[in-house]
Amino acid sequence: MQKIIYKSNIEDFDIFSANIIADAIKNLLAGNSNEISIALSGGNTPMPILNILKDINIDWSRISFFMVDERCVSIEDSACNYNNINNVFFKKISSRSFSMIEDGVSYKKASENYQLLLQDNLTVLPSGVPEFDLILLGMGEDGHTASLFPNTKALEEDVSYVVLNEVPQLSTHRITLSYPVLLESKSVIVLFKGKKKEQIVEEIYADKGASYPIDKIAKEHSNIKWIIG
Ligand code: 6PG
């Protein structure tokens, strides 16, 4: 298991993170003659980082981008992860990118369609799990990651790779990648800012017994990098 924890002061966090992510992408491209696949999370933390990353010299045409999770809103909505990342990043680079949602398609059907899309576009492991080259994750102060929130059904999902998850604590539903596909990715980078979130990671690696949705990724992923600001 490879686990690396990078720490940065808040002022330099965005450029620091963009450079670590760029290096990870360049290493994946160097080690692979074909295309690579990357899944991005939404939320606030990635936006200024993607805005820096877009200007770094990378052969974006060899990368396909997918979403880690999505809000159940219109694709035009300001809360739509794909919409926000598209405006800051996808529109500015020459990569393919795939939204989880499509207006006029139910969120249940959209999650089923996305699973098929992953199986058609990614390497599928003997286990049947689609394999991402890199997944960028965030984390909430409740220890959620992707849209795997505490006490929600998707935490138990071990068959489907993309699920529609009811999140009562937010009175909403989210579409999210499930643990099997998150854990089978070649590499994962978790990035966040804030002491409260940092304490969660310290608790997990100190085996203090508290359980958070991010636990499984922290303890079971074979190649994890943390970028903490
Ligand atoms: C989302 C995300 C979610 C996010 C965390 C952290 O759709 O909100 O994918 O998992 O990564 O909530 O969000 P911040 O970066 O805004 O703190």
For the cut 80, the answer to whether the pLDDT of residue 1 exceeds it is no
- Tell me, using a 6 A CB cutoff, whether residue 194 lines ligand 1: no
Q: Which residue has the tokens 């970028």?
A: 227
Task: Tell me how far apart the alpha carbons of residues 82 and 38 are, in angstroms, rounded to a whole number.
Answer: 14
For residue 180, give the amino acid letter.
P
Per-residue pLDDT of 12-68, as tens digits, reads 999 999 999 999 999 999 999 889 999 999 999 999 999 999 999 999 999 999 999
Mean pLDDT along residues 70-78: 97
pLDDT at 114 > cutoff 80: yes
Percent of the chain surpassing pLDDT 90: 94
Share of the chain above pLDDT 70, in %: 100
Is the C-beta atom of 130 inside 6 A of ligand 1? no
Q: Say if ligand 1 is within 6 A of residue 43 CB.
A: yes
Looking at the CA of residue 46, tell me the nearest atom of ligand 1: 15
pLDDT at 158: 95
Q: Sorting pLDDT into bands at 50, 70 and 90, what band is 2?
A: confident
CA distance 31 to 52: 24
Q: Specify whether the CB–CB gap between 68 and 41 falls below 8 A.
A: yes
Give residue 145 CA to ligand 1 midpoint distance, Å.
7
The preferred substitution site among 13, 135, 145, 175 for testing ligand 1, maximizing ligand atoms within 8 Å of CB, is: 145
Going by pLDDT thresholds of 50, 70 and 90, the confidence category of residue 190 is very high
Q: Which amino acid is at 99?
A: S
Question: Rounded mean pLDDT of 173-178?
Answer: 98
Which residue has its alpha carbon closest to ligand 1 atom 15?
45
Distance CA 59, CA 16 (A): 20
- For the cut 90, the answer to whether the pLDDT of residue 207 exceeds it is no
